[in-house]
Chain A
Amino acid sequence: MTTDHAADMTGHHAADIDKHVKVYISVFVALMVLTIITVAIARVHLPVPIAVGLALLVATVKGSLVACYFMHLISEKKLILAVLVLTGVFFIVLLALPVFTDGNSYGFHEAPPTNAPTEPAASPH
C-alpha cells in the first residue's frame, strides 16, 4: 500500500529510480563542467556585454538542469508548470516596469533639440 503511494505521490516508480540516479550523476558532472567553464570565461576578460551574455547563458543552462532534473520539472504536472509560467510573466513585468517608468536614467531619453538654448533665458530684472 505504502509502496504504491510512494510511487503515485512522486510520479516515479521505485523500479525507475536506478535510471534516475544515473541521470542525476550525469547532471552533476555537467554542472561541475559548466562551473569550470563559467570561471574560465571570466578569466578571458571579454568585453562586458559579451561576458555578461555568456555568463548568463551558462547560468541559465545550469539552472535549467537543476530545475528539470533535480527538481523533476521535466516530468512535473501541468499545474506546476502553469504556476511557474505565470511567475515568469510577473518577473518580466517586475523587471520591465522600472525601465518604462524611469527610462530617463537608462539612456532612453530623447536628445534635446539642436536649437534649444543651453542656458536659461536671462532674467528681465
Chain B
Amino acid sequence: MEIPYTVELRRDTGLTNGKIGIWLFLASEVMLFGALFASYILIRTGAPSWPRGDTILNVPLATFNTIVLITSSITMVMAWASLMRRRFGTYRIYMGLTILLGFVFLVVKYFEYSAKFEHHLYPSTNNFLAIYFTLTGLHMLHVAGGMAVNAYLLGPGAKLWKTNPAWFTNRVENSGLFWHFVDLVWIFLFPTLYLL
C-alpha cells in the first residue's frame, strides 16, 4: 500500500503528511524540554543559593560544541539545498559532514562527562548537576537519534533518490527540521547551564 501525501500536498492542510507530522512531533518536543526548563527555573528560583555554571562546567569546550552544532545546522540545510539543486554528490558531502559534526559534539560531551565523574561530580551530587546531566543527557540522546536518521538517509535510505527524488528531498527536509530543533535547544541550554 502506498503512503499517501508524501509528495503531493493535502488539500485541507496544504502540507505533506510528513511535514505536518514532524512539526507536531517537534511541538511535543517543545513541551518535553519546556517542562524540564520550567523545572530548572523553579528549582533555581526556589534555591537559597545557586552556583554559576562556569565555576563547575567547562565553558571553552561548551563554546566549541556550540560552534560545532551551529556549523552542523548549516551543513544540514545545505544538504537539503543540494537536493533542491539536484546535486546528489554535494548532498552526500554535506550530509556526511553533518553526521561527522554530530559525532564530534558527542565526543566532546563524553570528555566533559568523564571529567565530571573523575571529580566525583554526579547527578546525585546536587540540584545543579542533576539538572545539568538530565538536560544535556536528554539533548545528547536527541543528537544521537538525529545522527541515526541522517545516517539512514546517507546510506540505505538514499536509494529513494533514484526512484522518487521529491519524496527523498522531503525526508531530508523533515530530518533537517529535527536537527535544527536539536541545535535550537542547545542554543538555550548553553547560556542557561554554562554561563549564568
Contacts and interface: CB of A to CB of B under 8 A. Distances in A.
Interface residues of B, number: 57
B38 A14 contact: no
Given A10-B169, A17-B81, A84-B27, A95 B86 contact: no
Contacts of B177: 71
Interface string B3-47: 000011100011110011001100100110011001001100110
Interface in A1-46: 2-3, 5-6, 8-10, 12, 14, 17, 20-21, 24-25, 27-28, 31-32, 35, 38-39, 41-42
Contact of B81 (A21, A79, A84, A102): A21
- The range of chain A's interface size is 35 or more
Most buried by B among A6, A8, A38, A77: A6
Contacts of B85: 14, 17
Contacts of A25: 74
Given A42-B59, A77-B14, A94-B35, 13 more contacts: A6-B84, A6-B165, A6-B166, A6-B169, A25-B74, A35-B67, A42-B54, A48-B196, A63-B187, A71-B181, A79-B15, A87-B27, A99-B42
Interface of B: 7-9, 13-16, 19-20, 23-24, 27, 30-31, 34-35, 38, 41-42, 45-46, 54, 59, 63, 66-67, 70-71, 73-74, 76-78, 81, 83-86, 164-166, 169-170, 173, 176-177, 180-181, 183-184, 187-188, 190-192, 195-196
